[in-house]
């Protein structure tokens, strides 16, 4: 088995890289794939928290790199999904503790046993980001429909192109359909037109994400909310399926919908 | 006299610009000495930007040049070269390397031509953080996004949306022009003039425009196609 190493990155912080990494990992594992998620945000780890694995960390990626344990001793297996593992970051070191060659070596080894290796990149464009993309076969850029995030994404895409790893594919996260309808938020077309790269998916802002993070159970375990459905659609697109984009984000508001909303509100 | 064409001396806004072309270095130096001597008082106290193109220059050769200039009371302030060898020699002697360099050091941008006097055609989008610097004209087929910059000695043509920063005529040419299919730069500079795009959104259909300096201001006009 030779899996695909996909780095999830953004430039700007707070756009949802970690949430998307966790949820894509869960969604792909639910689809029967072997997945290992790597938290590359060394010194500021939180993928383990989102995935509810914090209390089970014994070794971390820095221990692996510095030879204190074998790679497989540091992997934490998900309690529900046997195909899902996490390689946690260290909280006590900083980003210089791991270099690009270490990252490439870890990815190469994990590729042998996984269909997907998902790397959660730290924010920024420095050392940590460079490490996170060093082992990647593919790159996913996450942005929100805000001017500052889109600008950061543009910068990141430029840096990724410079490494020869292609422009990557885009996820627009935390879109608020109501605001788009009012014309107060950039819509999908604005963002795509600006960044000019392939769109992998659009996920709406969803309060359930915060609840899920608090509980340490990624939303993608259930498909009941719009954001969760969006993550599953993205996972299926990664597997090469043609999944249509959810209509609510792209289509203008119909009179019927507006009426429904009015009645709902009153 | 054929050799005369190998030395070009020009006055620019930043001082004197001397270009040394092909040919034997010692002969060039002798000739330069003569030419500077012919108008000694004119060049007195000047600062010189030296252009040497692709030529590899030894540190010792550069020192000889500096001492000749010093004899005429001229100071060498910067060297513009596309030879790494010459650049090292300059740095060893504490001579600044001049900007704009013909080839950008920013990631992802490569110049397609080695000769800085030629135009540069780039078929790609310039993204935020990318900088393109070229002494000649620049043509981009693609967009120039906000946060990207182009600094050109000559004109700048963007076949796409120009939303970043552009400086045309950066070596002091106020006659330079900037044109784009959509001309909405963050900031536009031509020679020594600076302008920003009007902040109100244009409701009319966006059309190709040309910007140039007119009566001391940068003015953008629709491309008439005439």
- Among candidates B59, B133, B48, B55, which has minimal Cα distance to B90? B59
Q: Which of A158, A162, A163 sits opposite B128 (nearest CB)?
A: A158
Q: What tokens were used for B32?
A: 């330069």
Helix (H) or strand (E) holding A255: helix A255-265
Which candidate, B31, B29, B39, B30, places its Cα nearest to that of B16?
B39
Contact B147 A154 (CB under 8 A): yes
Name beta bridge partners: B12.
Answer: B15
Asked if residue A138 has pLDDT above 80, the reply is yes
How many angstroms separate the CA of residue B25 from the nearest CA in chain A?
38
Read off the CATH number of the domain in which A231 is found.
3.40.50.300
Instruction: Kindly determine whether residue B128 and residue A162, on different chains, have CB atoms separated by under 8 Å.
Output: no
| Residue B113: per-residue pLDDT | 43
Please give the full DSSP string across B8-46, using - where no structure is assigned.
EEEEETTEEEEEE-SS-HHHHHHHHHHHHHHTHHHHTT-
Whether B143 has its CB under 8 Å from any CB of chain A: the answer is yes
Residue span(s) of chain B under CATH 2.160.20.70 come to 120-222
Tell me if chain A has a CB within 8 Å of the CB of B206.
no
Which residues make up the CATH 3.30.750.50 domain(s) of chain B? 2-97
Cβ count near A223 (within 10 Å): 14
User: Are B129 and A196 within 8 A, CB to CB?
Assistant: no
Domain count, chain A: 1
Fold exhibited by the domain B120-222: Pectate Lyase C-like (2.160.20)
Residue A159 has pLDDT above 90, yes or no: yes
What percent of chain A stands above pLDDT 90? Answer: 77
ipTM: 0.72
Extract the residue ranges of chain B whose pLDDT is less than 50: 1-3, 100-114
Q: Does B128 touch chain A (CB under 8 A)?
A: yes
Question: What is the number of helices (H) and of strands (E) in chain B?
Answer: 4, 16
Tokens of A108: 């190469």
**A158 alpha carbon, distance to own chain's centre:** 19
**Alpha helices, DSSP H only, in A31-112?**
47-50, 61-65, 71-74, 100-111
pLDDT digit string, tens, across residues B4-27: 567 877 766 667 788 888 888 888
Q: Identify the CATH homologous superfamily for domain B2-97.
A: Cell-division inhibitor MinC, N-terminal domain (3.30.750.50)
In a mutational test of the B interface, the residue from A11, A151, A154, A186 whose CB has the highest number of chain B CBs within 10 Å is A154
In this complex, the residue of B108, B128, B130 whose CB is nearest that of residue A151 is B128
**Would the pLDDT of A265 be above 60?**
no
User: What's the mean per-residue pLDDT of chain A?
Assistant: 91
Say which of A158, A163, A194 has its CB closest to residue B129: A158
Across the interface, do A155 and B127 touch by the CB < 8 Å criterion? Answer: yes
- Average pLDDT (A116-124) is 96
> What domain range includes position A258?
4-265
Angstrom distance (rounded) from CA B132 to CA B158: 13
Q: Using the beta-carbon criterion (under 8 Å), do A154 and B127 form an inter-chain contact?
A: yes
Report residue A192 CA to chain centroid gap. Answer: 18
Interface contact flag, B127 A151, Cβ < 8 Å = no
Rounded to an integer, the average pLDDT of A79-94 is: 93
* Cβ contact B145–A154 (<8 Å): yes
Query: Of A144, A141, A220, nearest to A175 (Cα)?
Result: A144
> Which DSSP state fits A58?
-
Q: Which two tokens stand for residue A47?
A: 């993928």
Distance CA B3, CA A159 (A): 46
């Amino acid at each position: 088995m030779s899996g695909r190493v996909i780095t999830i990155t953004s430039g700007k912080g707070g756009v949802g890289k970690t949430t998307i990494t966790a949820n894509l990992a869960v969604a792909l594992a639910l689809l029967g794939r072997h997945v290992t998620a790597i938290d590359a945000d060394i010194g500021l780890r939180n993928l383990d928290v989102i995935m509810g694995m914090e209390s089970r960390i014994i070794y971390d990626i820095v221990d692996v790199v510095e030879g204190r344990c074998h790679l497989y001793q540091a992997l934490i297996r998900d309690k529900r999904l046997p195909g899902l593992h996490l390689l946690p970051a260290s909280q006590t070191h900083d980003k210089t503790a791991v270099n690009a060659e270490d990252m490439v070596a870890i990815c190469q080894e994990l590729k042998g046993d996984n269909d997907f290796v998902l790397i959660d990149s730290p924010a920024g464009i420095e050392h940590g980001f460079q490490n996170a993309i060093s082992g990647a076969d593919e790159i996913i850029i996450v942005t929100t429909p805000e001017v500052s995030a889109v600008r950061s994404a543009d910068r990141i895409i430029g840096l990724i192109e410079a490494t020869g790893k292609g422009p990557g594919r885009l996820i627009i996260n935390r879109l608020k359909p109501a605001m788009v309808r009012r014309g107060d938020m950039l819509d999908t077309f604005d963002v795509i037109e600006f960044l000019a790269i392939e769109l992998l998916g659009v996920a709406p802002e969803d309060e359930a994400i915060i609840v899920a993070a608090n509980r340490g159970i990624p939303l993608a375990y259930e498909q009941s909310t719009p954001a969760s459905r969006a993550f599953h659609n993205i996972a299926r697109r990664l597997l090469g399926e043609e999944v249509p984009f959810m209509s609510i984000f792209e289509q203008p508001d119909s009179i019927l919908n507006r009426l429904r909303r009015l009645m709902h509100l009153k | 006299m054929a050799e005369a064409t190998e030395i070009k001396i020009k006055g620019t806004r930043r001082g004197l610009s001397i270009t040394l072309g092909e040919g034997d270095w010692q002969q060039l130096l002798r000739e330069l000495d003569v030419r500077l001597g012919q108008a000694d008082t004119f060049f007195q106290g000047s600062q010189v930007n030296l252009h040497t193109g692709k030529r590899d220059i030894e540190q010792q050769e550069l020192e000889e040049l500096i001492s000749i200039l010093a004899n005429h009371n001229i100071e060498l302030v910067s060297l513009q070269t596309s030879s790494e060898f010459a650049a090292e020699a300059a740095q060893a002697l504490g001579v600044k390397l001049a900007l704009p360099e013909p080839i950008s050091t920013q990631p992802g941008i490569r110049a397609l031509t080695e000769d800085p006097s030629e135009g540069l055609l780039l078929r790609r989008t310039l993204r935020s953080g990318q900088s393109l610097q070229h002494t000649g004209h620049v043509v981009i087929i693609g967009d120039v996004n906000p946060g990207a910059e182009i600094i050109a000695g000559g004109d700048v043509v963007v076949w796409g949306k120009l939303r970043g920063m552009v400086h045309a005529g950066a070596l002091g040419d106020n006659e330079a022009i900037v044109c784009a299919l959509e001309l909405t730069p963050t900031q536009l500079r031509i020679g020594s003039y600076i302008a920003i795009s009007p902040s109100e959104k244009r409701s009319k259909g966006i059309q190709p425009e040309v910007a140039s300096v007119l009566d001391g201001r940068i003015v953008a006009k629709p491309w008439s196609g005439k």
